[in-house]
Amino acid sequence: MDNWKKLPGCQHITSTECNFSSVKLKNVYEKIELRIRAEKGNNASQWHEVKPFIPFQKAQIGPLDVHLEAEDKAIIIHISPPGTKDSIMWAMDHSSFIYSLVIWKNSPSPEERTETVYSRDKIYKLSPETTYCLKVKAELRSPRRVGLYSPVYCINTTEKHKVPAPENIEIDAENQVYVLKWDYAYENTTFRAQWSHEFLKRIPGSHSDKWKQIPNCEDVKTTHCVIPQNVFPEGIHRIRVQASNGNNTSFWSEEKIFNTEMKTILFPPVISMKSVNDDSLHVSIGAPKESENKSVNQLYPLIYEVIFRENTSNAERKVVEKRTDFTFPNLKPLTVYCVKARALTENDKWNKSSVFSDTVCEKTKPGNTSKTWLIAGICTALFSVIVAVYVVKVLLRCINYVFFPSSKPPSTVDEYFSEPPVRNLLLSTSEERTERCSVIENANTLTVIEETNPIDEDHKKYNSQTSQDSGNYSNEDENSGSKISEELLQQETV
């Protein structure tokens, strides 16, 4: 907060205005804060802070410097961009200004013309030996700024030159060359043509040294010359032509702007048509197929001229469409219609059109389409019935599987266990094997006959071996042993 600096030109001011132009601003795009206070003797008021602002946003376009040079039918105009050489306000915009110019002649009848020019440009189509006056204002496109008109400047055009300049310059692209043509009314004249980059127009200053001689167009005696395409780099350029009859040379002709992209050929589009119903046809325009050599840069907005007619008649209907899909309505059923289309550029600087595409013919559908609907309906019904039956079948199968399972074992188990005993073991029913025991009670002759199923005993032993620990096992052995010895004793006594 303590980097407030004294504003030069605004110290000890007695009026309510001050000019601080001498401040050397480093950057006109950064916010500036100002504050001001009143002082009387040793007393001073509080600081009043001015709302912060960005100098660039408040800047207005200042007065312009204009120089004029007269020819017989044209005036060359030099406008210096706003701001002095070392001013930084428009430093980044000096190639962005365009100038709006109003020119008029006072006598015999005042007629005005408004033109938009670059900082160095020419105004053509004037009359010789006439006084013309003009005023200019500068404009910036982005951000939008408009300056005030300059003062009025007047100049006289010279008398008609002995050698007139060529007129109506045209350039066309053909095969691998450009053909430059112009008009000239007199004989025994040689011509030369020069070219320059269009972008130089944006840069203020004189570029008279930047014009280059076009090969094949130097000292030509005809009003045309053929230029190979590799002379010009891709882009937008300007061409001018000058005539000479030995001693004298004319002024330069009007500059012709040309875009090397003009040499692209527009290919015909691909058109297709199909019948939607009995009274309309739907047309689709597709992009043209690529040519064998370069892929075409058809990137300018295209519109299509569509010629539509009944096959049997010659009456054509021409429609210009921007869309690539559209419909012709209100047609007759069961009639053949034919259509063809060609592409056009919308650019009014140069009109280009392709050749017509192939003619495509299509027949509209028959009327009374209720029959078709009926058939379609029946087919759909049949199909849905079949589908429903299948679905029900599947559902039933599922229900059976879940709620009524079969008691058969799966087949895989069957084949694996083919031996009956094992099978029985694993798949035995709830009926258990039990042994019949009969106890004959007699205290002395106690014969305990135990019929045990050998398997069960093993089972028991097996069980005891595994389920009980070794202590029990030995116990068991003793018991069985004692039982057996007891039996023997008893048998002996008997």
Partner 1 sequence: MSAEPDVIRKCTWPVCLVGLFVTGILSLDCSLLDVHLRRVTWQNLSLLSRMSKSFPIECLRESKAFELPQEILSHTQPLTRDIKEAFYEMSRQAFHIFIQDTFKSTWEEKHLRQVQIGLDQQLQYLEQCLEEEEEENEDMREMAEDEWTQSGAPVPQLSNLELRRYFNRIDRFLKDKKYSHCAWEIVRVEIRRCFYFFHKFTALLRRK
- Give contact residues for partner 1 (rule: CB under 8 A): 27, 29-30, 53-54, 56-58, 91-96, 141-144, 197-199, 202-203, 233-236, 287, 290, 294-295, 297-302, 322-325, 346
The Cα–Cα gap between 351 and 341 comes to 16
Residue 341 CB: number of other CB atoms within 10 A?
A: 25
The Cα–Cα gap between 446 and 490 comes to 8
Nearer to partner 1, 132 or 258 (CB): 258
Residue 342 gets the label, from left (phi > 0), alpha (psi -120 to 50) or beta, of beta
Nearer to partner 1, 51 or 318 (CB): 51
The Cα–Cα gap between 9 and 86 comes to 20
Nearer to partner 1, 234 or 316 (CB): 234
Report in angstroms how near the CB of residue 200 gets to partner 1 at its nearest. Answer: 9
Nearer to partner 1, 58 or 408 (CB): 58
Report in angstroms how near the CB of residue 203 gets to partner 1 at its nearest. Answer: 5
- The residue written with tokens 């007139």 in the block is 164
Report in angstroms how near the CB of residue 236 gets to partner 1 at its nearest. Answer: 7
Tokens of 336: 């053949």
Report in angstroms how near the CB of residue 232 gets to partner 1 at its nearest. Answer: 10
Report in angstroms how near the CB of residue 290 gets to partner 1 at its nearest. Answer: 7
C-alpha atoms less than 13 angstroms from C-alpha of 34 in its C-beta half-sphere: 14
Tokens of 311: 């096959």
Report in angstroms how near the CB of residue 110 gets to partner 1 at its nearest. Answer: 28
Report in angstroms how near the CB of residue 138 gets to partner 1 at its nearest. Answer: 15
**Cis amide leading into 420 (omega within 30):** no
Residue 461 CB: number of other CB atoms within 10 A?
A: 14
Tokens of 232: 């010009």
Nearer to partner 1, 276 or 303 (CB): 303
Nearer to partner 1, 82 or 166 (CB): 82
Nearer to partner 1, 27 or 472 (CB): 27
247-257: b or e for each residue (b if 16 or more CB lie within 10 Å)? eebbbbbbbbe
**Cis amide leading into 333 (omega within 30):** no
